[in-house]
Amino acid sequence: MKLVFTAEGESLEAKLDPRFGRCSTFLVVETEDRSFVAETNPAVGASGGAGPQAAQFLGDLGAEAVVSGGFGPNAFRALSAAGVRMYKADAAPIQALLDAFAAGELAEVTQATGPSHRGMR
């Protein structure tokens, strides 16, 4: 499946960026063979609405699930509509999180994890 991580860098060694809408990079990983593509987040410098914009971007990429530190209410609403499942994780190298995801250890998010604009702080 196509699994996306909010990342601080462009490799599997990079750490998870805890922000969804304002992360610098989306690491798009094919879970079957761990091949990946690094995509720049188009919403990183948005004047507003980073969450919905990033969600639209992931939806267009055909992402099936995304792992981040949390999801605000706007991002949550848009990702849900796009059919992208959300998982929450603490900051760790993406590689380790891939293992955790495969082992079913990451918690699925079923409601917004915090208020809007957390990623701007």
Number of residues interacting with other proteins: please give it, by CB under 8 A.
19
With CB under 8 A as the contact rule, which of the stretches 1-9, 25-33, 76-84, 96-104 interacts with other proteins? 76-84
88-107 residues in contact with other proteins (CB under 8 A) are none
Instruction: By CB under 8 A, name the one of 16, 29, 55, 89 that touches other proteins.
Output: 55
> Angle, nearest 10°, between helix axes 73-82 and 50-61?
20
DSSP designation for 3: E
16-35 residues in contact with other proteins (CB under 8 A) are none
With CB under 8 A as the contact rule, which of the stretches 10-18, 32-40, 45-53, 107-115 interacts with other proteins? 45-53
Using CB under 8 A as the binding rule, whether residue 83 contacts other proteins is answered as yes
Measure the CA–CA gap between 36 and 9, rounded to whole angstroms. Answer: 12
Least Å from the CB of residue 38 to other proteins: 22
Q: Is 17 helix (H, G, I), strand (E, B) or coil?
A: coil
Task: Please say whether the beta carbons of 74 and 51 come within 8 A.
Answer: yes
- CA-CA-CA-CA torsion for 110, 96, 1, 28, nearest 10 degrees? 90
Q: Is 60 helix (H, G, I), strand (E, B) or coil?
A: helix
Least Å from the CB of residue 101 to other proteins: 23
Residues within the interface to other proteins (CB under 8 A): 43, 46-50, 52-53, 55-56, 59, 74, 77-79, 81-83, 116
